[in-house]
Amino acid sequence: MQRTNRYLILIAVCILALTGCTVKYSLSGASIPLEAKTVSIAYFPNNAPMVAPILSPTLTDALQDRFSRQTRLQLVNENGDLAFEGEILNYTSVPTAISGNETAALNRLTITVRVKFTNKYQPEFNYNRSFQAFADYDANILLQDAQNQLIEDIVKQLVDDIFNEAVSNW
């Protein structure tokens, strides 16, 4: 009889403990406050000394697409529960590998963006910081010929970093 009472007490304690807990699961690994319903992602202007015309729309669209596809949040123009704004600070191409005859074998395109993230419900996760990513390309190819694919690859890295920093509260 006493053993049965212990099991009942144990079950009651477990039920009470579990009813006070909430767990947020997501296939994308995102941890978003349950109260958050919207996200706003402002256009990222290109303020780098060297400008690639496709960079601003590519970055902005990719970040918006990531949140639309991988979260339950509704995309709004401004004042989202989660809000992103920022700018492209740098877009540079420099030699990274020198061949035997002291000419560049590889060049590296590097893109730096500043992002201000605001979380209305969890302000402890707000940030204002820079993100940087790069991709290497053959020095025998002109940047203009390679930049569309390079920008696509670099923007993917940047969006991964920005998304993870904002909603992967591990």
Q: Which domains does the chain have, with CATH numbers?
A: 32-167 (3.30.160.150)
Q: Decide: 88 and 44 in contact? Cβ < 8 Å.
A: yes
The enclosing H or E element of 102 equals none
CA 40 to chain centre: 14
pLDDT digits (tens, 9 = 90+) for 109-136: 999 999 999 999 999 999 999 999 999 9
From the CB of residue 81, how many other CB atoms can be counted at a distance below 10 Å? 20
pLDDT digits (tens, 9 = 90+) for 93-106: 998 877 666 677 89
From the CB of residue 129, how many other CB atoms can be counted at a distance below 10 Å? 12
| Residue 111: burial class (beta carbons within 10 Å; 0-12, 13-18, 19+) | buried
**Percent of the chain with pLDDT strictly greater than 90:** 69
The whole-angstrom separation of Cα 63 and Cα 141 is 29
